[in-house]
């Protein structure tokens, strides 16, 4: 069932580039608004890190910095799309095939950087409790600190570091990385059903009930606490670490 946004009051600001043509430069983007609990904030990026953190306020805050040459930066746009389940924010790069790129929720997006624009976009997102977060970058590090909401994180080339302030998500929490390690820290009182697997790395866990299998120790599953919610971790070429907060 689709949830509707209760209120969405947006403020966006793009600061201009100050640099001589061809010289390194940067440009900032800011957005803030209220998203209903249970709805989601989704970030889709092609080149750059995404850092999410919990905020005690009731507004989502999104800050993005574009870094590169003053000639490339203006070609990359930050687009915010409102939809029935929350908001999706995309870094839109130029596309040389004439089709153009599309920012939309989930798999409906069409994002490509065929012109090989070198601009790097770094996102920092502050997320209130209960608002779900979905972070996706092709090339960059993903971090989530003290989060108190459901998460879905995926990167093709970059590490994923997650620390959960509360482990009371419903349904499944999924973290995937192609060429980066995954490091997840859960509260000592967490409850989850864990399934972790890597092709070319190792899995380690602080929880005795999460059993590591295989001669390469690359697969683990088990129940933390009383279980009841799914935690799925998948890494292709790096290790997975599941840690208990101290």
Total Cβ atoms within 10 A of residue 4: 11
Average pLDDT over residues 157-179: 85
| Residue 81, burial from CB neighbour count under 10 angstroms (0-12, 13-18, 19+) | middle
Reply yes or no on whether the pLDDT at 28 is more than 90. Answer: yes
Confidence class for position 214, pLDDT limits 50, 70, 90: confident
Task: Among 19-23, 34-38, 69-73, name the most confident range.
Answer: 34-38
Confidence class for position 172, pLDDT limits 50, 70, 90: confident
- In percent, how much of the chain has pLDDT > 90? 63
Confidence class for position 213, pLDDT limits 50, 70, 90: confident
More confident position, 91 or 7: 91
pLDDT for the residue 169: 77
Confidence class for position 23, pLDDT limits 50, 70, 90: low
Average pLDDT over residues 124-131: 95
Task: Report the predicted TM-score, pTM, of the whole model to 2 decimal places.
Answer: 0.81
Enumerate the β-bridge partners of residue 44: 90, 136
Q: Look at the block and give the residue holding tokens 């009731």.
A: 58
Average pLDDT over residues 76-82: 95
pLDDT for the residue 112: 78
Reply yes or no on whether the pLDDT at 5 is more than 50. Answer: no
pLDDT digits (tens, 9 = 90+) for 230-246: 999 999 999 999 999 87
Confidence class for position 164, pLDDT limits 50, 70, 90: confident
Distances in Å between the Cα of 9 and the Cα atoms of 24, 51, 61, 88 are 33, 22, 11, 15
| End-to-end CA gap in the chain | 38
């Amino acid at each position: 069932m689709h949830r509707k946004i209760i209120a969405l009051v947006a403020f966006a600001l793009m600061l201009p580039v100050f640099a001589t043509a061809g010289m390194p430069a940067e440009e900032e983007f800011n957005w803030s608004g209220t998203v209903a609990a249970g709805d989601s904030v989704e970030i889709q990026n092609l080149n750059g890190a995404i850092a999410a953190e919990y905020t005690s306020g009731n507004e989502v805050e999104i800050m993005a910095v574009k870094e590169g040459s003053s000639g490339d930066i203006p070609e990359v746009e930050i687009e915010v799309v409102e939809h029935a389940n929350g908001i999706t924010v995309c870094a839109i790069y130029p596309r040389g095939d004439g089709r153009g790129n599309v920012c939309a929720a989930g798999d409906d997006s069409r994002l490509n950087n065929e012109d090989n624009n070198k601009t790097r976009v770094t996102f920092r997102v502050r997320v209130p409790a209960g608002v779900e977060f979905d972070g996706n970058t092709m090339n960059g590090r993903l971090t989530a600190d003290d989060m108190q909401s459901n998460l879905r994180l995926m990167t093709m080339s970059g590490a994923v570091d997650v620390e959960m302030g509360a482990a009371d998500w419903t349904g499944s929490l999924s973290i995937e990385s192609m060429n980066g390690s995954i490091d997840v820290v859960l509260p000592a009182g967490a409850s989850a059903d864990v399934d972790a697997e890597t092709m070319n790395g190792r899995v380690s866990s602080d929880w005795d009930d999460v059993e590591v299998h295989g001669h390469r120790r690359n697969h683990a599953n088990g129940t933390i606490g009383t279980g009841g919610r799914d935690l799925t971790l998948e890494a292709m070429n790096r290790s997975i670490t599941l840690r208990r907060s101290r």
